[in-house]
Amino acid sequence: EPEVTQTPSHQVTQMGQEVILRCVPISNHLYFYWYRQILGQKVEFLVSFYNNEISEKSEIFDDQFSVERPDGSNFTLKIRSTKLEDSAMYFCASSVGGPGNNEQFFGPGTRLTVL
């Protein structure tokens, strides 16, 4: 069964450093998303991406965040200068369709620890 994959599973970084989290969505999916989950809290939407551009972003997704689909298979989330409060699980998701046809499949997540 096709699945969303994410690398690395765990990333440890120093405050102020740049990190890139990588995702490979399911191959025939067209809509891509990043969510994050701070330990013990609910999953929060960060950004949605379709047709090589951002569809929507949350207040969390400030200028320090960016997304890219560098090729036909990868979808990345970059945090330019990490802060302690960026420590969280980051989930990538993808779906075949967008609004109204929107079963999103989630990857296993990347645990980001900012020291």
Partner 1 sequence: GESVGLHLPTLSVQEGDNSIINCAYSNSASDYFIWYKQESGKGPQFIIDIRSNMDKRQGQRVTVLLNKTVKHLSLQIAATQPGDSAVYFCAETSNTGKLIFGQGTTLQVKP
H helices present in 20-113, as ranges? none
- Work out whether 95 is an interface residue with partner 1 (CB under 8 A): yes
Q: How far is the CB of 68 from partner 1 (least distance, A)?
A: 19
The total of other beta-carbon atoms located within 10 Å of residue 84's CB is 9
Binds partner 1 by CB under 8 A, chosen from 7, 11, 24, 44: 44
Q: How far is the CB of 19 from partner 1 (least distance, A)?
A: 19
Residue 90 burial (C-beta neighbours within 10 Å; 0-12, 13-18, 19+): buried
3, 69, 71, 51 alpha-carbon torsion, rounded to 10°: 90
Q: Which one, 1 or 14, has the nearer CB to partner 1?
A: 1
List contacts with partner 1 (CB under 8 A): 4, 31, 33, 35, 41-45, 48, 55-56, 58, 91, 93, 95, 98-100, 102-109
